[in-house]
Amino acid sequence: MRSHPQANPRFPNGSHRRVPENDDGVTLRPFMPTLKAADNTELHFTSIGEGRPIVFLHAGLGWDSSYLIRSFSPMFEGDHHRLVFLDVRGNGRSSYAGELSFELFSSDLLSLCELLDERVVLFGHSYGGTIAQVFATQHPERLAGLILDSTFPAFDFLPQALERIQAKATAEQMQTFGLLFGEIENDADYAAAITGLLPLYFHDEPDGWVAEFTDEVLFRADAFRKGSALLGEFNTLEQLGDINVPTWIAGGASDIYPLEPTAVRLNNLIPNSKLDVFEKSGHFPFVEESEKYRSQLMKFLGEVG
């Protein structure tokens, strides 16, 4: 995929420039510019390709966008979209100032949309989907479409999720879950915990995927703790009916997040939405059923123009 947006003086420090071609003159490296948020927090994002922007928000919190870049860049080879992967404030290579909040996340997204200067398709995976919902209810005029993958409108399904976890987890993994929400103090411990637990999030984990994920993601334990604390207050159930943009919802049948209180409920509450359930997937349907996922994704993007 070519990765060379046209020059734009609003990108800081000349970061929005043509990147040299590789030896065969075909592939260009992604741009990795930064953006100043409204409170001067520096936000890192990666931009690949040209065309209508699709803004991707990663899961976690405490992760970054690298796993999304690895998964989605190949899907868009030769396609006319610009892929923009944002490291949420306090995550990845984005800087951090003060506390985290959904209002700040939404404000950051608004700053990015203003920089892109056109309506975007907004993609949110898991926790990223909660941020996407908040933004969609506050700034629908900025969106051409919305994609919600493996996410939820309220974090009120923990008992059902725990039942699913207990049915799959080893004793060691259950112990790690307890540590994750109680005693994780540094980035290395957080990375180790996620590495041990991620296999539970798959229907059938692809060989080597978790190991590669662990190698490429920049883990931030502080972001995980503070992001998790926000979930108790997160609830968009009363606002989802106001979302007036085309919305595609994706969920995996084997996800530890049960479909009824998550993807199904989102589909019931968002007026112009469509739900696709991936029967052989867990929390990462774009990994486990990538061909089917790409087909449905491109169909949706074709409909939103």
Where in the chain are the domains? Answer: 12-304
Q: What architecture is domain 12-304?
A: 3-Layer(aba) Sandwich (3.40)
The Cα–Cα gap between 269 and 288 comes to 27
Q: Please give the pLDDT value at position 31.
A: 63
Extract the tokens encoding 93: 């290579």
Contact (CB, 8 A) for 40 and 65: no
Contact (CB, 8 A) for 42 and 33: no
What backbone torsions phi and psi does residue 82 show, to the nearest 5 degrees? -100, 120
- Look up tokens 């699709």; give the residue: 54
pLDDT in tens, the chain (305 residues): 333 333 333 333 333 323 333 333 334 446 678 899 999 999 999 999 999 999 999 999 999 999 999 999 999 988 889 999 999 999 999 998 678 999 999 999 999 999 999 999 999 999 999 999 999 999 999 999 999 999 999 999 999 999 999 999 999 999 998 888 877 889 999 999 999 999 999 999 999 999 999 999 999 999 999 999 999 999 999 999 999 999 999 999 999 999 999 999 999 999 999 999 999 999 999 999 999 999 999 999 999 97
CA distances from 112 to 80, 141, 184 (A): 20, 14, 32
Strands 42-49 and 52-57: unpaired
